[in-house]
Amino acid sequence: MKTMRPYTPFLLLLSLLLAAPLAFAGSDDGPKHKIVIQVSSDDARTQKIALNNAVNLQKALGQDNVAIEIVAYGPGLSLLTSKSRQGKRVESLAMQDITFSACGNTMKKVARKTGKEPQLLEGVRVVQAGVLRIMELQEQGYAYVRP
């Protein structure tokens, strides 16, 4: 019968301790639910519905259980600007883990027409293109909603 060397249990324990983080590394894939909400209309009612959808999902599923991104482009960009009727609400929701993405292409188009880019609300980020961002999110498993 082969005898165990005195340092073998130590090496076994050490290897288990080093491997444990790797075993759990893939277990946290973020929130179980993911949704992208498209806003491409400057209609105030439609924009309000988009925000309501996001809030209702967070309430139903829990803030930590759902990733929500609202992507605005074209006329819908008005939701995310300093002139928005929903401005305070957008800024508040951005602080509650709802991501707001403004279309960079739309920003450039407005700048060409008016001579300046629209002023975005606090917490809004710019993406290259709104439609591209929606496509990327869907490829990552996000559900798609357009109110």
Reduced to 3 states (helix: H, G, I; strand: E, B; else coil), residue 41 is coil
Q: What domains are defined for the chain?
A: 33-145 (3.40.1260.10)
- Residue 22, pLDDT above cutoff 60: no
- Residue 112, pLDDT above cutoff 70: yes
Q: Give the model confidence (pLDDT) of 24-47 as tens digits.
A: 444 457 899 999 999 999 999 999
- Residue 4, pLDDT above cutoff 60: no
> For 8-60, where are the E strands, in sequence order?
33-39
Residues 6+ apart with CB under 8 A from 145: 35, 36, 37, 38, 53
In whole numbers, what is the pLDDT of the chain averaged over residues? 88
Q: Give the model confidence (pLDDT) of 59-97 as tens digits.
A: 999 999 999 999 999 999 999 999 999 999 999 999 999
Q: What is the pLDDT of residue 34?
A: 98
- When pLDDT is averaged across residues 111-119 and rounded to a whole number, the result is 96
Give the pTM.
0.81
